């Protein structure tokens, strides 16, 4: 990837930006700096700065006053991030975790989970869906409710 190396904190921010840009493009057909700023709760100048860095890294094409488009690499990475988010959200939902807690937990986990752990969670999801009795027992344990 072109550009300078990133810190772990910056890597999380890059993933958040790419995820939001793709979500905006998928829902609205475009992503403007103002839209990204609103969805992330960040000032537009900060988004413009990150957009320039993402452009330098070859993940987006940023044209001032025209908006953002993802490069092929940026879209591939964003789709992987969104899939990872969806897998973790589904897993916590199967466990019966309250939506607000699940959202917070997913945001914390999604940037730090390894590919192997994610594959394991996908397998657990499949097993829980196939065995409703197991799903109910684990949900009861996770939520502290007795069967």
Residue 5's Cβ-side half-sphere holds a number of Cα atoms within 13 Å equal to 2
Cβ atoms of 114 and 122 within 8 Å: the answer is no
* Strands 67-70 and 60-63, sheet pairing: antiparallel
Q: Indicate the range of 1-10, 32-41, 108-117, 119-128 predicted with least confidence.
A: 1-10
For residue 3, name the pLDDT band (cuts at 50, 70, 90). Answer: very low
Q: Give the residues across from 62 on adjacent strands.
A: 68
d(CA 111, CA 107): 7
pTM of the model: 0.80
Cβ atoms of 86 and 125 within 8 Å: the answer is no
Could you tell me which of 81, 76, 77 has the C-alpha nearest to residue 112? 81
Tokens of 117: 């752990």
8-70: CATH class: mainly alpha
84-143 folds as: Diphtheria Toxin Repressor; domain 2 (1.10.60)
Instruction: Tell me the domain boundaries of the chain.
Output: 8-70, 84-143
d(CA 30, CA 15): 18
Q: What is the pLDDT of residues 60-117, one digit of tens each?
A: 999 888 889 999 999 999 999 999 999 999 999 999 999 999 999 998 898 889 999 9
Reading phi first (left if > 0) and then psi (alpha if -120 to 50, else beta), residue 65 is in left
Instruction: Give φ, ψ of 56 to 5 degrees.
Output: -60, -30
How far lies 48's CA from each of 18, 25, 30, 39, in Å? 13, 17, 16, 14
């Amino acid at each position: 990837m072109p550009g300078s190396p990133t810190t772990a904190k910056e890597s999380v921010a890059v993933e958040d930006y790419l995820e939001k840009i793709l979500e905006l493009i998928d829902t609205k057909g475009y992503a403007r700096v103002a839209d990204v700023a609103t969805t992330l709760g960040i000032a537009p100048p900060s988004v413009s700065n990150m957009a320039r860095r993402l452009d330098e890294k070859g993940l987006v094409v940023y044209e001032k006053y025209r908006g953002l488009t993802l490069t092929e690499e940026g879209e591939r990475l964003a789709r992987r991030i969104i899939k990872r988010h969806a897998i973790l959200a589904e897993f916590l939902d199967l466990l019966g975790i309250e939506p607000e807690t699940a959202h917070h937990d997913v945001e914390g986990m999604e940037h730090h989970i390894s590919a192997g752990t994610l594959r394991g969670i996908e397998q657990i999801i499949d097993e829980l869906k196939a065995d409703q009795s197991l799903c109910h027992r684990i949900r009861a344990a996770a939520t502290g409710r007795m069967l």
